[in-house]
Each structure stands twice: as structure tokens, then as C-alpha cells.
Structure 1
């Protein structure tokens, strides 16, 4: 991911506009998808307070403002120093750290939750397993891991990726591949939920999304699970 550092630095100021342009055929903005993923995470945070949360490849930290307000212990890491500058301005109470995109600068078993949002398709396939291993390593036993990615089986997702300038070299991963990577650690029991079946914000359609989460046709998916141990 370090090879993308300069590229993401150059896109940091215009990130939202570029994503909005790539999805404007849907009538939606990036905030629709950001809030949707935050709602997905918040459902798991409902009975938890002040989790230590790590966001890997956090970019400008867009999702952090939408997480439950009792989750104030958030750390973000990214290879793009320029993106982190914006994240610090937008979320001054959080901690943002630059890293090399390979080894996470944290001790084993540090965080209650680690998440990464549409980052792995920017990582070299040769490094996918190491990326997941590092993610699992820094999570405490019984902690949670969440990997959000674009669904390559959804044609509208492929259209949006093809229209996005910083996704030009993206290698999309199937949910089964992410499950295999997590299972390979022997520390995570995981499943995949598919999200964004409809472009509508009404709660009725959000309920429909939940009912269809097993169907591998949503625009994105989240592969997630708990780390074994006690």
C-alpha cells in the first residue's frame, strides 16, 4: 500500500468530490454509504462502551463522526499524511498515526475492534494475508474484526470503481476470499454480510437490506468475526 502514498496525498483534499462523481449515476453521495457502514458497525457496538477502535487505512476519517457517540477511543492509521491532517481537523479528539502500510505500529492484543473500509483492494494481492494477519494480531482475544469491501459481483459497483480515478489499479476481492484470509489466521470465526441492496434511505429499505444480507448481490459486503481466546 505504500506505493499509493503519494497518490492518496494528492487526492486527499478532493476525496469526497471524486467519490461523489464516481457514484453520481445512482443519485447518491458518499455520505449515504459512509452512514450505512457506520450503522452496520453501531449495531455491534450497541452494548459496548468506549471500545478501543482501530481504523486501518482510515483516510480522512469520514466514518468516525457517524459512530456511536459513546465510542470516543478511536485510532486511525494511514499511509497518506495529507489525509491524516484532514482527519485530525475533522475529529480532533481521535488519534491519527502515519504508518508504512505493512506493519501496524502497535503491540499484540491492543484493540477491542479493528476495521478497514474498502482498503484491501488497494493492497497488493501478495500482501493480503499479511495485511489480515496484522489486523488480527493487534485485536484482543474476543475482540472484533470488520473488513468492508466492494462486491465484484455487483455490476453497479464495478461501474463506480471504473469511474473512480484512485481505484484504477484496484483488485476487487470476493467475500469468500476475505473469509479464507481470516480463516487462515486460525484465530477468527467469520461470516460475510452483504449491504446496500437499494439506494433508498427510508428505514423500510434498511430493514430490507438486513433481510437480504445473506444474498451476495449487495453493492458492498462486510466480512467480520470475533478473535478466539479469552
Structure 2
């Protein structure tokens, strides 16, 4: 699972964020100050950090600066979302200028934070484990696992191949003929009804797990994967 490090000295905020991100299917670890955050980054290699600015000791901006200058023992391009009670334009500009990927002012909606996490991870591309994250959809090719809104979805081999293909090309439209070629490696001995049936089953399983209607039918053309932020 994609690991998210939450750094905040307020236990209520950490608990709230931890619960929301866990329910969204992420593995969540915590740090209460800047020094502990830098240690966890080096030891755990998180895929993203949710970072409060007002930390005791080493402040949030100092942590961000250490990451972006390669002094944190973590990748310099590690995605960072700042949480702050400071809503002023100056703090926001400083944070973004230092390389923050997003900035969220307290009080905030936990659901909005989860959406921001998904969006930033999607822009960052596949995580180090090779997982594909698109909106509420998470695919782990190494283990052939699919998760949506934190719930695991059981798929057949071809259904899995189909959703991986869609998730690797979000918002691109494919005809049934193209999908037969890409997924079944043939468009000669199988009919397009094969694609229609598989799309119907995958769509139903994702929605049964609590996900939105992500596979869109473009009438007269084919299908695409729409990814909500």
C-alpha cells in the first residue's frame, strides 16, 4: 500500500487525517515534530508527506527546505502537501516557492485532503512500488490487487488487464476493436460483445465496492476511464 507520512503536533489533526487516509486505502504513519519527520522520511521512504507548518523545534518550512535540497535522506521530488493554520498569502507563496505540491489551510475537510492526496500522487506518477493510483482507484500490479475507496475488488485475469489498461491511459477513448487488440491480442476471432461484457462486469464490481461510475461509455465510439479528483 502507498505510505503517507502525516506530520502534525496536534493529536486530533493526526487522528482525523490518519482515519480519512486509511479509509481511502493508504498506509499512514505519523510524526509529531520536524526532527522525527526527517527521520521517518529516511527510514520509511513515504510516497507523500502531509506536513504542518507550525511544528515544535524544526519547523515545517525547514523540513520542506531540507527535502528539496536533498538533506532529508529522502527523494528531493518527494510530494509534500502543507497543512497550515496560516491562511495568509505570504505563507502560501513561501511554501509553494520552496516546492510544496499543494497547500491546505486549517480548518479543512478531511475528504478534500484525501482528494488532494490522490491528485498529487496522480501527478507524481506511479509510486516506487509500481502501483497505479487514479482518483479513488488503486492498482497493485505485483499482487494483482485492485482497491477502490479502500475496498478490495475481486477481478478475473482479463478484467484486471482491462482496468490496468484503462488506468494507465486515463481519459483516453478506446474503441472496442482497439481494446480487443490490446487486451485480448486479437480482433479477429473474438467479437466486440466480449469487450462490452467485460466492461459491464468491471464497472459493476467497482461500483459495488463503493466507487463512482469511472468507466464512461462514449456512444458510437467506445470507452474511457474518467478519474474524479
Quickly name the TM-score band, shorter chain normalised.
Answer: 0.3 to 0.5
Give the TM-score, by structure 1 length.
0.34
Structure with bigger RCO (C-alpha 8 Å, 6+ apart):
1
**TM value normalised by structure 2:** 0.35
